[in-house]
Amino acid sequence: MALAAQGFDRARPVTVGTRRLNTALARMGVLQIDSVNVFARSHYMPLFSRLGAYDPALLDRLLFSRRPPYAESWAHVAAFIPTSDWGLLQFRRDDHRAKHSDPPDSWMAQHGAVVERVKAELAGRGPLRPAQLERVAPAAARGPWWDWDAAKTALEHLWRIGEVAIDGRRGFERRYGLAEDVLPASVLTAPVPRDDAIRELIRRAARAYGVATASDLADYFRIKDRARVVASIRDLEDSGDLLPVTVDGWTSAGRPAKAWLHRDAAIPRSVDVAALLTPFDPMVWFRDRAERLFGFSYRIEIYTPAPLRRHGYYSLPVLIGDDVVGRVDLKADRAASTLLVQSAWWEHGRPADAAPRLAAELEEAARWRGLAHISVSRWGDATDDLAAALPRAARH
């Protein structure tokens, strides 16, 4: 049911066009952004997981066209959302303003002159990349935000409070513009009241998850107001959108955990998928839920010193059938046109055909990234199985 709610119950299409991308994006409701680009940018991955190989330029055109149907906002974290949903997250921008802009000792208040200069630059010159604003503030005006200068920090705060919006990217560098120059007036003038917005976000989280606990529902859009989450669930029960259920194996303090089923959730006859997941896929981004669904204990080891890593720098969960059966640490060596399998590991209870199915998925991943070769390391208990299933692959 959870896999079906995320679109994994359907066979991958032969070709992927805009309609397929929009359908998959609608199922998820939010597409998380992350800067790591070892194998592929994270926001490209969920579409590959669900649809197979597609042209990333097609997604770029959807996300970055003039007046696009999607906008960058602080949703789960930094993410793409439907532009029409901008008003649902106005309460979050208001919260950021109250914490980081309104207090006299806040960064924005202390750097008011720089903030106003940045806004004036955007008003006069149109959308700009941070590199084009470097002359606005002296390099000495540094802060704790990734060691950005004051102008760049001002841009980030202005985006978080909704006064500027992202007008596309060059490479991965954002281009910022005044919100009124980037987004339709219809979404800027239609903020949704906090209680209504949180209730709608909880409803959408339930639809995206199929079945979920209160913690699952709160995490989907990172809603920290527990009282409003509980009130929203109660309202959605009353409206018939959510149905209280218990799920075998889901416990809390030794008792069955409270869970809710979205009214449109369906149990497919079967789910038989082979997919690589980004760490920021909704199927696994909430680690507690991933462990409940799959018995899969997962952490990203990017910030773990190399000698202490258990599975690799950026291991991707491997979904086979209806279970997470392993993880692979992938790297695209573009200079050598080679997909490097840095490590590969099995989880408990993998099916007999796990190795050939994962091998086929790695071949598809290499084609998708335009890589001619695959090389498999010797680190991990799945590497020999993969090498045997990939007879043309090198070893390293």
Q: How far apart are CA 32 and CA 169, in angstroms?
A: 15
Give, in degrees to the nearest 5, the angle at Cα 216 between 92 and 220: 35
C-alpha torsion 200→202→208→209, nearest 10? -160
**Residue 317 corresponds to which tokens in the numbers above?**
């969960």
**Distance from chain centroid for Cα 392:** 33
Q: How far apart are CA 133 and CA 151, in angstroms?
A: 7
Q: How far apart are CA 75 and CA 88, in angstroms?
A: 10
**Residue 333 corresponds to which tokens in the numbers above?**
């060596």
- Residue 144's pLDDT is 43
- Residue 152's pLDDT is 87
Task: Count the alpha carbons within 13 Å of 218 in the hemisphere toward its beta carbon.
Answer: 14
- Residue 135's pLDDT is 64
DSSP 360-380: HHHHHHHHHTT--EEEE-S-S
Instruction: Tell me which DSSP letter residue 142 carries.
Output: B
Beta bridge partners of 346: 326
Q: How far apart are CA 202 and CA 216, in angstroms?
A: 10
Please report, in tens digits, the pLDDT of each residue of the chain (396 residues total).
999 999 999 999 999 999 999 999 999 999 999 989 999 999 999 999 999 999 999 999 999 887 789 999 999 999 999 999 999 999 999 999 999 999 999 989 998 988 998 999 999 999 999 888 766 655 545 444 333 578 888 999 999 999 999 999 988 889 999 999 999 999 999 999 999 999 999 999 999 999 999 999 999 999 999 999 999 999 999 999 999 999 999 998 889 999 999 999 999 988 999 999 999 999 999 999 999 999 999 999 999 999 999 999 999 999 999 999 999 999 999 999 999 999 999 998 899 999 999 999 999 999 999 999 999 999 999 999 999 999 999 999
**Residue 353 corresponds to which tokens in the numbers above?**
């055909």
Return the closest-CA partner of residue 362 out of 26, 39, 62: 39
- What is the three-state SS of 71-139? EEEECCCEEEEEHHHHHHHHHHHHHHHHHHCCCCCCHHHHCHHHHHHHHHHHHHHCCECHHHHCCCCCC
Domains and CATH numbers, the chain: 1-87+190-262 (1.10.10.10), 103-183 (1.10.10.10), 299-395 (3.40.630)
- Residue 349's pLDDT is 83
10 Å CB burial of residue 58 (0-12, 13-18, 19+) is: middle
Q: At what angle do helices 56-64 and 18-28 cross, to 10 degrees?
A: 70
